[in-house]
A and B are shown apart, each in its own frame.
Chain A
Amino acid sequence: MLRGLANLTWLEIKIFLREPLGAITTVGIPVLVFIVFGRVVGRGPAPPPQSAIGLIRVQLPVFVTVLIAINAVLSLVTIVSIYREGGILKRLRATPLRPHTILAAHVIVKLLLTVITLMLTVLAGKRYYPLDVDVPVFGFTVALLVSTVSILSIGFLIASIVPTARFAQPIGGLILYPMLGLSGLFVRPESLPPALRSLARVLPLTYAVSLLEGIWRGDAWSAHLGDLLALAMVFVVCTALSAKVFRWE
């Protein structure tokens, strides 16, 4: 069945690229946010103040990275809903393909997309970003993939519950973007009101941000075992839940 997975994955990549608008926005928006915001904050006759340096050195890159992951997830949620509504999932299921192979193909496509977007961001950053940021690119890529896989599992859960394809993107955004706000990226968890702080503690994006930020700053992986464990738990729980409630039609 590996051949089926490989063929389906390759096909889905081609099909994705045939819809230029979707492909360009998914890849382009994070890169654009990165460059434009970086230049807006970092520009000026005087060197940027210390607080701003922190922002453009760490927070903005990590924010953009999380954006990449969220984009991948929203795109997955949308495509699964469209495929379900159009009966494509059902049609694929009435073949020797195993159900999880069909979904795995989409996950692989999204992960590839994530890596490509990240690479483009890095390349564009080297050329246009106001500060030269030195990061362990490989480790960071792995951290992003781990985070994306974990958030993708939330995506499947969202895809399981959205009623129609029309609502997929907005509902997904409604769930994921506020999570980003509480993730500790721009507002430290310590400075949140207690109720929000405990909410932030159960939100998976908090751990993704913590992991990405840490690896970005050059922390050792061992310092982030807690984050990894949390993300793994999110993955296991969401995958198990969506395996139960996922609708194929």
Chain B
Amino acid sequence: MATTGKTRNIKVIEVHGVRKTYGPTVAVDDVSFHVADGEIFGLIGPNGAGKTTTMECVEGLRSPDRGTISVLGLDPVRDVYKLQRLVGVQLQEAQLQKRIKVWEAVHLWASLYERKAADGDRLLEQLGLGEKRNAWFMTLSGGQKQRLFIALALINDPELVFLDELTTGLDPQARRAIWDLVRGIRQRGKTVFLTTHLMEEAERLCDRVAIIEHGRIIDIDTPQGLINRHCPERQVVLATDDPLAEERFRSIPRVETVIRQDGRFTIGGRGDDLVTNVIHCLSENRIRVTDFRTVLPTLEDVFLKLTGHSIRD
């Protein structure tokens, strides 16, 4: 479980055995998970895996065929209007009226919520949209549109924010800016439930992730927990012209493979100690190296291992 203070064990979202079909297609099957108060929880998987369907069932925009969902103690289908007042939602690929002005959208949204809304103008400033107040929606860039949607999702100062594929189609710079925003939401004590097909995004942002494929959840854990359990392999790549190096490397504890190519060695093994052991060996034997780096598995590797294919396929 993730760290950062607060009452971590209160379950903001609880999903049990949810199934949703569209005609003959089973979009989501037997999905169960929970989201704890104050965490960033990510549902990750390729396009079409059932992420959005799952999220929209939790938001109350779709009703599941089977299973139970509880959000902030409410039934999202039965109490959908009550729920909408308490949460903030950013939908995948949403649009607004082409010629609506930024401030008009914020003003309209603010007027829809009874509880004291966040200060719209301040929110726009915080999200770097202050200068775009009077711009039409259609004239905004992709990143600006996404930031506006984030502003709309936060306008009622919600306890729980849903973000569906919020950085898709953005350039890396805009993406990083949005990641900072999402971390900011968590810092204010809110809970974030997001979906993404970007493993890097999940790894950098999420406290916990659920990997979903073909409508089923394969595993749930912290990104590091998933990596440690499924991909314990570590690699050290180094360059040296010491003639005895290869022999020394092979005798390092926990080392499984040593591959030599063009004066470079790739040392492979398992567990967190591998890197320390290699460094130890280098200093003990006074091996002079001209390059040294580690190759650590990522969520991408976890996904590959669990599903047998890359998330981009």
Contacts and interface: CB of A to CB of B under 8 A. Distances in A.
B144 interface: no
Interface in B94-115: 94-100, 104, 107-109, 111-114
Size range of the chain B interface in the assembly? 20 to 34
Interface string A69-105: 0000000000000010011101101111110000000
B135 to A, nearest CB: 12
Contact of B97 (A4, A7, A15, A97): A15
A90 B96 contact: no
Main SS at interface, chain A: helix
Contacts of A244: none
B152 to A, nearest CB: 8
Given A11-B104, A18-B99, A94 B91 contact: yes
B111 A7 contact: yes
A8 interface: yes
B99 A11 contact: no
A15 B94 CA distance: 18
Interface string A1-40: 0011001100110110011000000000000000000000
Interface in B31-46: none
B211 to A, nearest CB: 26
A67 B257 CA distance: 81
Contacts of B280: none
B112 A97 contact: yes
A96 B99 contact: no
Contacts of B84: 94-96
Contacts of A11: 97, 100, 104, 108
Interface in B52-96: 59, 61, 81, 84-85, 89, 91, 93-96
Size range of the chain A interface in the assembly? 20 to 34
B96 A91 contact: yes
Given A19-B99, A94-B89, A98-B81, A7 B108 contact: yes
A97 B61 CA distance: 13
A90 B94 contact: yes
B284 to A, nearest CB: 61
A14 B97 CA distance: 11
A87 B95 contact: yes
Contacts of B89: 94-95
Contacts of B95: 86-88, 91
Contacts of B61: 90, 93-94
Contact of A87 (B94, B99, B136): B94
A163 B97 CA distance: 20
Contacts of B81: 96, 98
Nearest to A98: B81
A98 B95 CA distance: 19
Nearest to A87: B94
Contacts of A94: 59, 61, 84, 89, 91
A98 B98 CA distance: 22
Contacts of B113: 96
A90 B109 contact: no
Interface of A: 3-4, 7-8, 11-12, 14-15, 18-19, 83, 86-88, 90-91, 93-98
Q: Which 9 A-B pairs have the closest CB atoms?
A: A86-B95, A18-B99, A91-B94, A94-B89, A87-B94, A96-B84, A7-B111, A15-B99, A4-B112
15 contacts: A11-B100, A11-B108, A14-B104, A83-B97, A86-B95, A88-B94, A88-B96, A91-B91, A91-B96, A94-B84, A94-B91, A95-B109, A96-B84, A96-B85, A96-B112
